[in-house]
Structure 1
Amino acid sequence: MKKTSSFNKVLQYATPYTSKLFFVGFWALFLAIVAALRPLLLNLTIDNYFISAKKETNSIQQQFESFMHYFFEGNTSKENLELLVVIMFVILLLEVIAQFYFVYMASWLGQDIVKDIREKLFTHLSRFKMKYFDNEPVGKLITRCVSDMENIASIFSQGLFMIVSDVLKMLIVLGFMLIINWKITCIVLLIMPVILLATNIFNRKMKVAFNEVRNEVANLNTFIQERLTGMKIVQLFNREKIELEKFKEINEKHNKAWLKNILYNSIFFPIADIISSITLGLVVYFGALFILNGDTQTSVGQLISFNMYIAMLYNPLRQIADKFNVMQMGIVAADRVFEVMETNVEVQDFGTIQAKKLKGNIQLENVHFSYIAGEEIVKGISLQVEHGKTVAIVGATGAGKSTIINLINRFYEIDSGTISIDEIPVHNYTLSSLRKEIAIVLQDVFLFADTILNNITLFDSSISEEKVQDAAKKIGIHDFIMSLPNGYHYDVKERGVMLSSGQRQLIAFLRAYISNPSILILDEATSSIDSHAEELLQKATQTLTKDRTSIIIAHRLTTIINADKIIVMDKGKIVEQGTHDDLLQISNGFYKKLYDSQFVTEI
């Protein structure tokens, strides 16, 4: 099956805007016609009011002029000259109005189309598996959503419709030139293949150049985004000079890509100017010869009008080449955007059961999972978490603890086995309802650059500020929030940098509590915080886990001593499970070693 080009895919998004397309086409045609009338009116003015003893001919032009003479009552009075000048002014005014509406409607249409594509891209990205974001640089995706989108918009605002308008103008101009004087027009047409060939070569070269430019822009965005995000590490380890050298290398590649683009422009446009000047010279030369040899179909007014027509014919060719540059950049950007949009890594959401007020009985049966094929992280795990119970999972780094909660939420798809909640496989639930019933508090809390209130409610209009305050009081963090400037309306800035790690954790606990989940998961939520914050978090944890199925992944064993069951993992397998007291009784056991090592260290 033939693959649809990115250009055609972009055009498909214009289907809902057929009325705007019609008006853009109308103004493009109207603009071409009124623009071509100006030189003709100038021709008539010069031949009828400035050149005396005009000879009678039977040319098509003379027939048109006879009509004009009839309109002006067959004389050359000053009043009719003034009237002709007024008509020329009106034509010019109409051209300005047509130009305005054409450009405005084309740009408006382009922005509407890009708005639709951008929304579809963002929706598509929000459904991707976490594995995709593990492998793709954030800077690259930002480039696709922002700068590439603007380049797609330019296909309409500065590319396609401008080219259509220019082609219409050229065809109408050629028609007028043939009507006025076909001999001189033939001279112009003999030169046109040269500039058309040059334009074709230029466009092919520019497509390759623009593709290289977009690659380097994506690399540049990725590098800058990562370094700005990790600036603390860069400065902490005195990496400024090293990172600067890396940046210079990437920036140099970006510069060279653009210089290639500039080189092609620098070659093409002077060539186009030379060809235009040669054509004009030939027209003047042969036109003068025709007049001197007594050719009655050639006049001075025609030569002057042809001077304007050649500019109107060749300038669009030059501009078309320039607009093809814009088109090429837009199409290359569209290639990249549609590559992401056609990437099929969405979490499959074929479930039909709504997960509402789950009991929270979780069961894993012989679950296998690998991030990379052939490298299993979870190796045949089976476990059960009963309704209302608190289960803790402990183990060394890389044992597969966090992977378990990612699989329960279906951030990743298991390789084999079954994960069930309330005896129903998780893939039978609709994805949105399943995740609504599960709340997770991570070790690395992410807060948006907004108020505390909005970070808690996540713009859910059904959650009032009073409800948030009541919840904060129940888990014991209301006083902490009210101690901040503006309280619940305190702006935490990007990633919550205005708060300490412990304070961010408290906000995350409140965000989880306010959603009233059936299942609560705490992933290292109490690690790396001060004692005061830990005290608040312990109280919040007790409130959150009460009568609710809870899974706690913990590094500090003191936080999970009272768990109903403790699962000990090592290298992707469950090696021990039981209560805290039961596990301590296992001689030389994994849990006992972990417990002893922590308490020995603390002593």
Structure 2
Amino acid sequence: MKTYLRILQFAKPYSRFVPLYTIYTFLGIIFGLFNFTLIIPLLNVLFGEVGQKEAVVMAATKPEFALNIEFFKEFFNYYFGQIILQEGREGALLFVCVMVIISVFLANLFRYLAFRIVGALRAHVVRNMRHTVYQRVTELHLGYFSNERKGDLMTRLTVDIQEVESSVVSTLTVVVREPISIIAFFILLFNMSVELTLFSLILLPLSGGIIAGISKRLKRKAKEGQNSLSFILTIIDETLSGMRVVKAFNAEPFILSKFQDQNSRYARIQRSIANKRDLASPLSEFLGVSVVAGLLLYGGTLVLNQESDLSASEFITYIILFSQVLVPAKAMSAAFSNIQRGLVSGDRVLQVIDTKPQIVNKPNAKVLPAFKEEIEFRNVSFAYGDKPVLQDINIHIKKGTTVALVGPSGGGKSTMADLLPRFYDPTGGAILLDGHDIRDYTMESVRAQMGVVTQESILFNDTIFNNIAFNKTEATEEEVIAAAKIANAHEFIINTEAGYQTMIGDRGGKLSGGQRQRLSIARAILQNPPILILDEATSALDTESEKLVQEALNNLMKNRTSVVIAHRLSTIQHADQILVLQQGRVVERGTHDELLENSGLYAKLTQMQLTV
């Protein structure tokens, strides 16, 4: 119930939907009930139980207005008696048939209008939920995505939200309208016969308990099904991303077997869910008809023995009305069964929404002033959980200088670079820009002063122009071309099929590694940040591409403060300062020549690369 109510919160503001929906639903139910109450006069006319004598009595006195069922009953009988006296039984029959047609038309008209409101509500809820989940995903820190399966996140963003729409939001009509219908039916039934209605209420809870038991088991299976589906999407994503490796190792049978195992498990779970869900509707119908049969036997005996206040026509109408109670009851039991899958999906979606971002702006965080003097790491430490990665880092980076981070893998180079744009916050110490602790300022203003070029070129399935002008929608064609020229990218761009409007495919798959990297550099150049972070930007390239990319990087680094993570030490020989990191500590620092003279770890690493 808690999950259901939380999902409904995405319908705010309710004022757009609730008043009109309530009015339309109420009117639809009233006219629907009126259809069935017309059965009594119809049967009385057909069976001759209302003649001139009865009509005179019915039309004798016009009732005074009162807001209750008795007034409407007497008011109808008054006019019905008038019509019998004036038009005869044939005229009364025509009147009843016309009233049935009008009431059916109005009942279905208001039902349709209510459906339109629910349709708008459903679209509103799903849109708000999908927006909230996507926004929360963009707010989460990078470590979250390292711990979660991408396939599972994709399942929650797509399949789970779709399941919420089809299983939860779609049942809003049933959850709201059907209880009102049942209450209205029972008010009318109590008004006709208290004894028979109380007898029926003894039998109904039995069928409700059986349906609830089935639905509880259904929810458990639905949770297993959604988890299995997330595994399937993870396998698909990994297969598509790693197809080159799959084929290189002849691993098609292996990966297919892995997929088949999960696919078969999901199919078994879905079959079990379908069996339980499909059982709910026929079972509820069987139990409902059994209750009607018991009611017919008990009530019919009373009528035959003249122990009931109901006439034969009233008893028949009572049974018809009670049988109609089964329609909303059956709809509710089916909806209650279907809703279980949606509630499981809703829980999974809400888990993402409830995940708190670890990197957030402080209350009243200010905009970071423009960078002028230096970056300082002051006693900086960082740990992933209980595992220390950086310990007591103390460095000063003057504006306009280049600092290179080198050392063995796992030494903390990338982590140190990730702390600067606040992808993570240090667990100890502080990072200062011109003496300002960057945690006291908004993330947006900190990152606006930094450009990042990573080893893996992160490009999007869009045009070359839009990739360079990413998040800078006001950029002109001249500015984009100028950035591309500085990045040594203009020549290959104009030779593509559509120039700057060429689509580059998923992750830039239509381009070579060097071309993708130069587009990443052009994107950084266009942003024109005062601080650059280069994370092994040339390590994955061939010699020719590396030369072009290195030239582009040199152009990019002019008059900027740069933090460079280097795998190939030959690319950072001219750095103003080189920091050697080992096991999370700075073990050496100095220029290239100074470090070679020390004959320490840097000299050893340089020698190893020269001999390779």
Normalising by the residue count of structure 1, what TM-score does the alignment of the two structures yield?
Answer: 0.91
Query: Which letter does structure 2 place at the counterpart of 1:52?
Result: G
Q: State the 1:84 CA deviation.
A: 2.6
For 2:610, the aligned partner's letter is F
Residue 51 in structure 1 maps to residue 63 in structure 2: no
After TM superposition, list the pairs within 5 Å mapping 1:68-87 onto structure 2: 68-70=79-81, 72-74=83-85, 75-87=87-99
Letter in 2 for 1:47: N
Mapped pair 1:28 → 2:25: yes
> Residue deviations 1:551-600, cap 9 Å, x none?
1112122221222222222222222222222222233x322222222222
1:436 correspondence with 2:458: no
Q: Which of 77-86 and 496-505 deviates more? A: 77-86
Measured in 2, the distance between the counterparts of 1:71 and 1:392 equals 102
What SS does structure 2 have at the residue aligned with 1:527? coil
Q: Can you list the C-alpha shifts for 1:155-206, whole angstroms capped at 9, x where unaligned? A: 6642233122011111112223334455554554343222222233233333
Q: Which residue of 1 aligns with 2:385?
A: 372
In 2 relative to 1, CA 573–41 (structure 1 residues): closer, same or farther, beyond 3 Å?
A: same
Once the 2 structures are TM-superposed, how far is the Cα of residue 62 of structure 1 from its aligned partner? 7.9
How far apart, CA to CA, are the structure 2 residues paired with 1:523 and 1:190? 73
Check conservation: 1:107, 1:156, Cα contact below 8 A: no
Output aligned runs, 1:377-456, within 5 Å: 377-456=389-468
Deviation of residue 513 (structure 1)? Answer: 0.7
Amino acid at match of 2:209: L
**Please, which moves more after superposition, 315-324 or 57-66?**
57-66
Which one scores higher on RCO, CA 8 angstroms, separation ≥ 6? 1
Q: 1:463 aligns with which of 460, 465, 475?
A: 475
- Report the CA distance between 1:548 and its aligned residue: 0.5
Offset, 1:412? 1.4
TM-fit CA distance, 1:289:
4.6
Say whether residues 1:596 and 2:592 are aligned partners: no
Residues 441 and 521, structure 1, Cα contact 8 Å, conserved in 2: yes
Aligned-pair CA distance for 1:148: 2.4
Matches within 5 A, 1:86-165: 86-154=98-166, 157-165=169-177
What are the Cα deviations for residues 421-479 of structure 1, in whole angstroms up to 9, with x where unaligned? 22222212211010111111001111111112222222432222221112222333212
Written as runs of structure 1 = structure 2, the 5 A alignment for 1:227-242 is 227-242=239-254
| Superposed counterparts of 1:542-553, under 5 Å | 542-553=554-565
Whether the 8 Å CA contact 2:405–2:566 is kept in 1: the answer is: yes
Q: Secondary structure at the match of 2:13?
A: helix
CA contact (8 A) 2:84 2:91 kept: no
Q: Deviations over 1:233-253 (max 9, x none)?
A: 223222222222222332333
Matching residue of 2:65: none
Q: Which 10-residue stretch deviates more, 212-221 or 423-432?
A: 212-221
| Letter paired with 1:136 | E
The answer (yes or no) to whether the contact 1:191–1:279 under 8 Å persists in 2 is yes
Q: Partner of 1:7 in structure 2?
A: 4
The one-letter amino acid paired with 2:121 is L
Contact 2:403 2:579 in 1 (8 A): yes
Map of 1:483-494 to 2, 5 A cutoff?
A: 483-494=495-506
Distance 1:202 1:310 in 2: 25
User: Is the Cα–Cα contact under 8 Å of residues 168 and 342 in structure 2 kept in the other structure?
Assistant: no
Q: Secondary structure at the match of 1:238?
A: coil
**Residue 287 (structure 1) shift:** 5.5
CA distance in 1, matches of 2:82, 2:180: 28
Match of 1:355 in 2: 368
Q: Is the 8 A contact 2:118 2:172 kept in 1?
A: no
Residue identity in the other structure for 1:20: F
| Number of the residue aligned with 1:556 | 568
Report the CA distance between 1:288 and its aligned residue: 5.0
Q: Is this contact kept in 2: 1:287–1:298, CA < 8 A?
A: no
Q: Is the 8 A contact 1:158 1:323 kept in 2?
A: no
Percent pairwise identity: 29
Q: Residue type matched to 1:30 in 2?
A: L
Asked whether the 8 Å contact 1:358–1:437 carries over to 2, the reply is yes
List per-residue Cα deviations over 1:256-293 (Å, max 9, x = no partner). 33333233334433332222222333454455555554
Q: 1:388 to 1:321 in 2, by over 3 A?
A: same
Aligned to 2:261: 249
8 Å Cα contact 2:21/2:114 also seen in 1: yes
Q: What is aligned with 1:476?
A: 488
Bigger mean CA deviation after superposition, 418-427 or 172-181:
172-181
Amino acid at match of 1:281: A
AA partner of residue 145 (structure 2) = F
Q: Which aligned segments of 4 or more residues in structure 1 are displaced greater than 6 angstroms?
A: 57-62
* Alignment map for 1:488-527 (pairs within 5 Å): 488-527=500-539
Q: Distance in 1 between matches of 2:450 and 2:217?
A: 54
- Unmatched tracts of structure 2, length 5 or more: 59-68
Contact (CA 8 Å) 1:438, 1:521: kept in 2 or not?
yes
CA deviations on 1:27-66 (whole Å, 9 max, x unpaired) are 2212222222222223322321x21244869997984662
Pair 1:354–1:267, CA change in 2 (3 A): closer
User: What amino acid is the match of 2:376?
Assistant: Q
Answer yes or no: is the 8 Å Cα contact 1:110–1:154 preserved in 2.
no
How far has the Cα of 1:298 moved from its partner?
4.2
Match status 1:575 vs 2:559 = no
Letter in structure 2 aligned against 1:448? F
- Alignment equivalent of 1:335, drawn from 340, 344, 347: 347
In 2: Cα distance, 1:36 partner to 1:199 partner? 26
- Of 223, 226, 233, which residue of structure 2 is paired with 1:221? 233
Partner amino acid, structure 1, of 2:83 = F
CA distance in 2, matches of 1:76, 1:226: 80
Which letter maps to 1:479? E
Segment drifting more, 218-227 vs 483-492: 218-227
Q: Mapping of 1:199-218 within 5 angstroms?
A: 199-218=211-230
Separation in structure 2 between the aligned mates of residue 301 and residue 490 of structure 1, nearest angstrom: 78
* Structure 1 residue 120: Cα displacement: 2.5
Letter in 2 for 1:9: R
Deviates more, 1:17-26 or 1:190-199: 190-199
User: SS state of the match for residue 72, structure 1?
Assistant: helix
Q: What secondary structure sits across from 2:528 in the alignment? A: coil
* Greater mean deviation of Cα atoms: 483-492 or 278-287: 278-287
Distance 1:321 1:548 in 2: 67
Instruction: Determine the C-alpha separation between the residues in 1 that align with 2:605 and 2:410.
Output: 15
Output the CA distance in 1 between the equivalents of 2:244 and 2:323.
58
For residue 214 of structure 1, report the CA deviation from its aligned partner: 2.9
434 and 65 in structure 1: CA distance in 2 versus 1, 3 angstrom threshold:
closer
Q: Which residue identity lines up with residue 17 of structure 1 in the other structure?
A: Y
Structure 1 residue ranges without an equivalent (≥5):
none
- Give the aligned length: 595
Deviation at 1:224, TM superposition (A): 2.8
- Deviation of 1:71 after TM superposition, in Å, equals 5.3
- Give the stretch that moved more between structures: 561-570 or 385-394: 561-570
State the Cα distance separating 1:528 from its structure 2 match.
2.0
Secondary structure of 1:526's match? coil
**Match of residue 63 from structure 2:** none
CA distance in 2, matches of 1:430, 1:266: 53
